Amino acid sequence: MAKAKTAYFCQECGYNSPKWVGRCPSCGEWNTLVQEVIEKEDKKPTVTWKSVNLASKPKAITEIKYENEPRITTDDQELNRVLGGGIVQGSLVLIGGEPGIGKSTLMLQIALTLSNKKVLYVSGEESEQQIKMRAERMESQSNNCYILTETHTENIFRQIEEFKPQILVIDSIQTMQSAYIESGAGSVSQVRECTAEFMKYAKDTGVPVFLIGHITKDGSLAGPKVLEHMVDTVLQFEGDRHTTYRILRTVKNRFGSTSELGIYEMHGAGLRQVNNPSEILISQRDEPVSGIAIGSMMEGNRPLLIEIQSLVSVATYGTPQRSSTGFDSKRLQMLLAVLEKRGGFRLGVQDVFLNVAGGLRVEDPAIDLSVIASLVSSYEDKFIPASVAFAAEVGLGGEVRAVNRIESRITEAEKLGFKKIYISKYNSKGLDLERSKIRIVPVAHLDQLFMDLFLNQ
């Protein structure tokens, strides 16, 4: 009888070590290595997914036939957007998010709305009665949505061979257990092996598979990092549990853009799609307040108008503080240095706090001009009119640089009722400034912006 082989795996990053060490050499975390059995004594599983094509032969790339198969379009336009236009046949999609954020609600809602497809929803965390209660709260029923409460993959594949679903949902991958691996459910070995089995099933049959995954304390997907490399698409479900808005962000997508996001609003009856997110990202207030500026950003093909909030005050506790939420802190330091050097503002002795309203994380450099305007507005205590928007990048010399997709940004601002938008002078080439209902103000340097924006107040 062969002896069982064991190894130590890091529960944070999946690092494999033949012996236990206190600190993981890969990620640097302490006390995360756990012993797992990697090869059983003499026991093999009885049932698993077997490939129909037992042997594959190499082909010249010119001999390979490719057919552009239509995607499965759901009623959820936000999900269609982040997936690149719909669900791809045979794709493996991983959805991660914090506990209680709404991952299971989202997938059950999608399973119930796909009334023309046979959907098998496999739950390893909830009973059939719990899922039924959630479906009744959503006030949505479907005769093509079937529920299976099971955690062993061999039993799941036995049911799949009889049922033959058109879409498979696994909730969650951390609760699944394969007979190939001796360790418990949720371990690095189990998560990797179960994902490999579902990936093989998806590729062999062309059935899309959705995997719901947990996240670690630092916000990354639980399990080995190789898990994200194995799947075709990684979606991150984000949001504050104390607010009603949720963001579905594309982290990886082999079939579309990785810059798309979908926005939902959580209700008692489920998740509602937010078709015009700019309206919820801009606060409504009765009186004008200094330090508020509206910037235009792009997430994939979608233009968004977001609110930048700044607070600049005298530092009373020695070293000035620099804090930013939703915006790169290093880029904030750079913009403050530009204002100090090129604009003459004494911000070195000021506390600076910057916030992007709505919980978004912004990486678009076109937000620079709105951040600059917001900081100066708070420093001078002069408010910016609510009908003014900004869309431009700022260079180290104080120059206002051009950004891409300027027409889409201007159109979105005009659609939301803005009267004026500041852009780069170098973006104005080819634009018909008179045709738009919104007033387009091209500027080449920060001095021109400050004179036009604050001089008359």
344 is in an annotated binding site: no
101 is in an annotated binding site: yes
Cβ neighbors of 228 (< 8 A, separation 6 or more) are 94, 221, 234, 251, 252
CA atoms of 79 and 84, how far apart (whole Å):
9
28 is in an annotated binding site: no
CA atoms of 281 and 285, how far apart (whole Å):
13
300 is in an annotated binding site: no
> ∠ CA(413), CA(352), CA(445), 5° rounding?
50
CA atoms of 419 and 416, how far apart (whole Å):
9
Q: Are strands 245-253 and 261-267 parallel, antiparallel or unpaired?
A: antiparallel
- Using DSSP's 3-state secondary structure scheme, residue 66 falls into coil
103 is in an annotated binding site: yes
99 is in an annotated binding site: yes
428 is in an annotated binding site: no
CA diameter of the chain: 89
Q: Give the distance, in angstroms, between the CA of residue 323 and the centroid of all CA atoms in the same chain.
A: 23
Q: Give the distance, in angstroms, between the CA of residue 108 and the centroid of all CA atoms in the same chain.
A: 19
Q: How far is CA 228 from CA 73, 102, 170, 247, in A?
A: 24, 21, 16, 19
**Angle between helical axes of 128-138 and 103-113 (0-180°, round to 10):** 70
439: Cα within 13 Å, side-chain hemisphere: 6
CA atoms of 373 and 453, how far apart (whole Å):
9
The phi, psi pair for 138, rounded to 5°, reads: -75, -15
Q: The sheet that has 388-391: what strands, in order across it? A: 322-325, 350-356, 302-314, 292-299, 388-391, 420-424, 439-443
442 is in an annotated binding site: no
H or E element that contains 77: helix 77-82
Q: Which residues are annotated as a binding site?
A: 97-104
Q: Which residues are annotated as a binding site for ATP?
A: 97-104
